[in-house]
Amino acid sequence: MKWSLNLGTVAGIRIKIHWTFLFIVLYVFYSNYRQSGSLETGLWGVFFILSVFACVTLHELGHATMGKRFGVRTRKITLLPIGGVASMENIPEKPAHEFWIAIAGPLVNVGIAILLYLLFSGQIVESYTRLQELTLSLARSGSEQMSESAHQALAIGPANFIFYLFFVNLMLVLFNIIPAFPMDGGRVLRALLAMRMNRARATQIAATVGQVFAFLFILWGFYSDPFLIFIGLFVFLGAYSENMMIQQTEALRGHRVKEVMHKAYVVLPPEARIKDAVDYLLQGHYSDFIVMDDDDRIVGLLSKPRLINALKTKSGEDPVADILVRDFEVLDPNEKLSKIYPGILGNEAGFYPVLELGNLVGVVDKESVDRFLMQQSSLN
Ligand SMILES: [Zn+2]
């Protein structure tokens, strides 16, 4: 099942939207419509949520463009109901670079807020005064039930659309600069710490702070908005996994590809059938397949999970050529493991062939690196 829909490509970055986003749009439409009884208010609500997500996309593009300046490529931006995520190919090692990449997102929202204020200051001030009077009079009257007219005045519509959008951008800034790693503020914190100490320790501290915030979000979510529970879980898991990744990268420092590569791979000719690969798989020793042509050039790669997945739609008689990953990276035996480790986790092919002077000498996959990490920690 595909979880997200492609919206298009901006500056070489794919913009995807998670399908659960549709629920948000429907929910906003429904709640606005129910409160006001008017279709128009429902549609203004939808227009508003789409505008908010346009601002979130610009925020992520802010990270991506700054990343590009420092040589960090962004593969895609995914819009989730809880916000956007820019998937960067690697995390910048220089603290100053990470600082600027992290701060660039919130700065975009500062920019949008300033722009809105410059263009519509009259309207924003007017909406603000009106909404403030309204909330004050509601508080004074002390009645539990909001009047029909109060509902209408608070609802998103042409009169206060700009004000709400301005307000949301300020909120995006405030929320994102909370130092809850891996949120932007947490990355800024890690960058600032990493200017004074090594990156592993800086990440450890930032991740701990992030997890404390995540816990507070979850607690707070139980008393107010359940959405905060999701954000809390997201931050908690994000802090855990990124900290783990950095600590492992640190443990790999000083070690090279040739120390972890193994030879449990199979070379297949381009005309091999899927069942040939399955036969090897059933022997239990092999999980990485490399397809080579007669000139010993690698045509494509096939990992065990990809092969198993393909069996759902393909027959054993189909050629393996149909299911190969053809866009892959190769490694040199002397390459540094700490440099390639973050890439291994997101590697589509599932493993890397290792070539020495053009000859295949082994493969590296996540399992072989994990095994190596385990041996290292048991030696220490
Ligand atoms: Zn951000």
pLDDT (tens digit, 0 to 9) for every residue of the chain, 380 residues total?
A: 467 778 888 888 888 888 888 888 888 888 888 877 788 888 898 999 999 989 999 999 999 999 989 988 888 888 877 778 788 777 777 899 999 999 999 999 999 999 999 999 888 898 888 888 888 887 777 665 666 667 677 778 888 899 999 999 999 999 899 998 888 999 999 999 999 998 889 999 999 999 999 999 999 999 888 888 888 888 898 888 888 888 888 888 888 988 888 888 888 888 888 888 888 888 877 888 899 888 888 888 888 888 888 888 888 888 888 888 888 888 888 988 888 887 776 677 778 989 988 888 999 988 888 888 888 777 76
CA nearest neighbour of 91 among 346, 370, 368: 346
Please state, as a whole number, how many other Cβ atoms lie within 10 Å of the Cβ of residue 91. Answer: 20
Measured CA to CA, the distance from residue 178 to residue 183 in angstroms comes to: 8
CA nearest neighbour of 339 among 256, 244, 262: 256
Ligand 1: centre distance to CA 301 (Å):
35
Ligand 1: centre distance to CA 184 (Å):
5
Measured CA to CA, the distance from residue 76 to residue 10 in angstroms comes to: 10
Ligand 1: centre distance to CA 182 (Å):
9
Ligand 1: centre distance to CA 170 (Å):
13
- Domains annotated for the chain, with CATH where assigned, are 4-177 (no CATH), 181-252 (no CATH), 257-379 (3.10.580.10)
**17: amino acid identity, one letter:** I
Ligand 1: centre distance to CA 240 (Å):
18
Dihedral sign of CA atoms 57, 60, 64, 69 in order: positive
Please state, as a whole number, how many other Cβ atoms lie within 10 Å of the Cβ of residue 117. Answer: 15
Query: Residue 83: enclosing H or E segment and its boundaries?
Result: strand 83-88
Ligand 1: centre distance to CA 8 (Å):
20
- CA 234 to chain CA centroid, Å, is 11
Ligand 1: centre distance to CA 31 (Å):
28
Q: Are 30 and 42 in contact (CB under 8 A)?
A: yes
Ligand 1: centre distance to CA 178 (Å):
11
Distance (Å) of CA 334 to CA 210, 340, 357, 361? 36, 12, 12, 12
Ligand 1: centre distance to CA 176 (Å):
6
17-44 as b/e, with b when 16 or more CB fall inside 10 Å?
Answer: bbeebeebeeebbeebbebbeeeebbeb
Ligand 1: centre distance to CA 231 (Å):
14
Using only the alpha carbons of the chain, give its radius of gyration: 26
Question: Could you report the per-residue pLDDT of 280-311, keeping only the tens digit for each?
Answer: 888 877 888 899 888 888 888 888 888 888 88
Ligand 1: centre distance to CA 187 (Å):
9
Ligand 1: centre distance to CA 266 (Å):
43
Ligand 1: centre distance to CA 195 (Å):
21
Phi-psi region of 131 (alpha: psi -120 to 50; beta: other; left: phi over 0): alpha
